[in-house]
Structure formats: C-alpha cells, structure tokens
Amino acid sequence: MDRHGEQLRMVEALLFASAEPVSEADLAARLPDDADVGGLVAELVDHYKDRGVTLNRVAGKWMMRTAPDLSFLLRRDIEERRRLSRAATETLAIIAYHQPVTRAEIEEIRGVGLSRGTLDVLMESEWIRPTGRRQTPGRPVTYGTTDEFLSHFGLDDVASLPGLDELKATGLLDRDVPPGFFADTDKPDGEAGVDELPLAAPDEG
C-alpha cells in the first residue's frame, strides 16, 4: 500500500474510534508531518457519502454518523431521555436563533414568562451556556448554544440552522410562532455581542 493509502486508513481509524467530533488539528497531530489532512478528510467524505455511515462536519469538527435515512434501524425499545417540554423547545430555538439573548428577551419573544427550571433543563443537557452580561441595568446574563448542541443536531455552525418550515416538519415546533421568533444567524455560536460584557465582569453596585 502506498503512503497516501496508509494515511487515509489512519484518518479513517481515528474518526471511527472517536465518540466525539475530531478537529483537523487533532488529526494532524497524530499523522505524519507531510499528511494533507484536509485532502484526506475530503476524500473520506466522498467515499462515505452514499454508505450506511457518513462523515459529517459538526461544530467545525468531523464525526462519523449513521446515514439519516437509516437511523430507524438503530431505534431500541428503551427509555429515552425525557422529551423537552414545549417551553424548553421554544426557548432552545430562540436562544439558537437570537444568541446571545437574555431571559427577559426570551420571554418577550415567546410572549409568556419563563420558569427558571426551563433554562436549567437546557443547561443540564449541555445545549446552552451563559455567554456574558448585557450592558444594561442589572447586567442580565446572556445565553448561547454550545458545541454539544451543534453535535447533537448534526450542525456545523448556527448558520446551518433550519428554517421554520423545516422545524415544523421535524416536530420541533407544533404551532405558529410569534413575530420575531427567528433572527439572522450570522454570528458565530456563543459569541459575545457588542453590547455585552464578559460573564465574569463585576456587577456595578
């Protein structure tokens, strides 16, 4: 086997063995110095595009996943993680599309109050995290999504988020949403806005 073929096998083995998405930098650290990691990954993406396992970019990293149309084969009759409530699902969607966003802003968009437990559930799932503090009275905490959120939903970045029709088709939303529910997603995941302070910034007395 030639050197290229051997390096391709090495990348394939590393990706197959990893339970978490792997960055190209991590792959490069384990490969010979002359390895073209980007080219090797691209070759594997093409190789697996029509197979039962595909190679996908999630949160800026690479991961092997079951082909979407074959996911039904892996379903088991076991207790699954409790389904998110409607409030939690809508809150997660608002955070994803409007991040960074405060609790008060979430309530304004949804048109109803938000219980503290809703945010707790999403943070326990490691799908959202505090990102900073708004430069307004009280310095309210802002929230954004995490790499775990991107990985779970198979997204490379927040710009890959689906639109309203797609969300309804998947059952993530089952009713009409209020105006302003969606926003542009051209900001990097979890990046602080221009009107934010770092999370650890001290409150003014």
State the chain's mean pLDDT as an integer: 79
Domains and CATH numbers, the chain: 3-70 (1.10.10.10), 86-197 (1.10.10.10)
pTM given for the model: 0.60
What tens digit of pLDDT does each residue of 164-201 get?
666 655 555 555 555 556 655 444 444 545 566 776 65
Instruction: Tell me how long the chain is.
Output: 205
Element (H, E) at 96: helix 86-98
- The pLDDT score that the predictor gives to residue 172 is 53
Residue 19's closest CA among 80, 61, 73, 68?
Answer: 61
**Distances from the Cα of 144 to the Cαs of 40, 156, 173, in angstroms?**
33, 15, 19
CA distance 38 to 68: 24
- The pLDDT score that the predictor gives to residue 85 is 81
What tens digit of pLDDT does each residue of 121-158 get?
898 888 999 999 888 888 899 999 998 888 887 788 88
Residue 54 predicted with pLDDT over 60: yes
The number of beta carbons lying within 10 Å of the beta carbon of residue 56 is 19
Residue 61's closest CA among 87, 37, 85?
Answer: 37
